[in-house]
Amino acid sequence: MFKKSVLTAAVLASMLSVSAQAADWSDTSMGLKYGTKFAEPFNSKDIAKTVASFTHVSGYKYGSNFFTIDYLMSSKDDPAFVGATSGAREFYAIYRHTLDIGTVSGSSFKFGPVKGLGFTAGFDVNTKDDAGYNSKKQMLVAGPTLKFDVPGFLDVSLLQLWESNAPYSTYTNSGVARYSYDAHPMISAAWGTPVAGFWFKGVANFIASKGKNEFGGATKAETFIDLALMYDLSGPIGAPKNAFQVGLGYNWWKNKFGNDANGAAGRGAFARTPTIRAEYHF
């Protein structure tokens, strides 16, 4: 898994590097975050995780690109396999392209606080080695995006999701062939804005039920909110402005992956996770 994922990440990073050369603007960063209160469905324990990230954002005349890949390293409370004393390992990648409809059509879509209209499409993909599920998620997304006129940015999208997975349990040594959930919508907001000398950024996703899961059970609507308040330490260490940022974050995830936090998935389907974070931008 590790070799294939690293190769995939390297190819994507190379493609993004080439595209950045033609971009009007770009920001690339590497980050670390750590928390001790992560959660996984059907696991009642608090899980410590270290997350290493690579993120690239760029814009050109007709739109923008966003790509991020996280490498999540769990403590032994989220074991790599049955009986393991080491934690699970996961790669999770997200790509989004937003086409600026106003620029393409030559028309203005400004109204009220909205400064523009886009069309967003992309994908999520992950691979995880753990004892109970071994996620192999694949998901396509597409839908309109409203861009708001605020300091920094605020984008709100209504996206349709087409998701599938092919889990495997090392408890039973059995798996499920790739299973496609019902297509379902998501309202997604992403923002970054200056606040009293800090940079406040985050993402909030409100995701509808995706029908039956691969085992025939009903799924629940889920809410994912990830916030961060970052401080620029670049000046004191002699780096360019906004190059090195540190801060605190909070992750709130109810009915994680569509599992009912009030059902069999238990408290592990409701994560409330404070984190510490650091980012280097170049």
- Domain hosting residue 229, numbered range: 2-281
Model pLDDT for residues 205-221, shown as the tens digit of each residue: 999 999 999 999 999 99
**pLDDT number for residue 235:** 82
> pLDDT of 24-81, one tens digit each?
999 999 999 999 999 999 999 999 999 999 999 999 999 999 999 999 999 999 999 9
Identify the helix (H) or strand (E) that includes residue 192. strand 184-195
pLDDT on residue 7? 47
Nearest in space to 210 (alpha carbons), one of 175, 267, 256: 256
Low-confidence residues of the chain, pLDDT below 70?
Answer: 1-22
Question: Which pTM value belongs to this model?
Answer: 0.90
Residue type, 60: Y
Q: Output the pLDDT for position 240.
A: 87
Question: Concatenated DSSP letters for 216-269?
Answer: SPBP--EEEEEEEEEEE-HHHHTPPTTSEEEEEEEEEEESGGG--TTTTTGGGG
Q: What pLDDT sits at residue 5?
A: 45
Residue 205 contacts residue 184 (beta carbons within 8 Å) = no
Picking from 263, 224, 276, 257, the residue whose alpha carbon sits closest to that of residue 40 is 257
H/E run at residue 14: helix 2-21
Domain of 66, CATH number, reads 2.40.230.20
Q: Encoding tokens for residue 229?
A: 């308040």
Strand spans (E) along 101-180? 114-129, 138-148, 153-165, 168-169, 174-175, 179-180
Q: What is the pLDDT of residue 262?
A: 96
Instruction: Tell me how many domains the chain contains.
Output: 1
